[in-house]
């Protein structure tokens, strides 16, 4: 059973606050966060196209358009959270590298 990723939630998405709590961020964490974000993109694209198509072809179908827009907002919220996590882990990694070497190559 995988452990729950609480670091992002506990620190409020702040790499500087998380710096005190971790010793290292493996590159695989960044890669996994990127993969999670990229895997959502086809769903987001389909939802955006569906909402656009409904607005264009059926402008009076208000309930269907509202449902499609709600779905788009939910998917975009998930995608944005995944993007923020990716940036968060990347930021921690950069701060750790700055602390060790005085500069970053990332």
Question: What is the domain extent for residue 67?
Answer: 24-101
The C-alpha atoms of residue 90 and residue 97 are separated, in whole angstroms, by 11
User: Would you state the pLDDT for residue 103?
Assistant: 86
Structural domain contains residue 19: no
Q: Give the integer Cα–Cα distance in Å for 91 and 85.
A: 10
Joined together, the tokens standing for residue 37 give 């974000």
Is position 95 within any domain?
A: yes
| 45 inside domain | yes
Asked, for residue 16, whether it belongs to a domain, the answer is no
pTM over 0.75: yes
pLDDT at 27 over 90: no
Residue 6 resides in a domain: no
pLDDT of residue 3: 58
For the chain, the domain total comes to: 1
Instruction: Give dist(CA 45, CA 42) in Å, integer.
Output: 5
pLDDT, one tens digit per residue, over 70-95 is 999 999 999 999 999 999 999 999 99
Does 93 map to a domain?
Answer: yes
């Amino acid at each position: 059973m995988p452990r729950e990723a609480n670091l992002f939630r506990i620190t409020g998405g702040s790499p500087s606050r998380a710096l005190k709590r971790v010793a290292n961020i493996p590159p695989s964490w960044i890669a996994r966060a990127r993969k999670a974000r990229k895997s959502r993109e086809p769903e987001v694209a389909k939802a955006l196209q569906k909402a656009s198509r409904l607005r264009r072809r059926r402008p009076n179908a208000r309930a269907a358009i509202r449902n499609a827009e709600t779905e788009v907002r939910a998917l975009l919220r998930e995608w944005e959270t995944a993007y923020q996590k990716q940036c968060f882990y990347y930021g921690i990694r950069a701060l750790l590298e700055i602390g060790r070497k005085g500069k970053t190559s990332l």
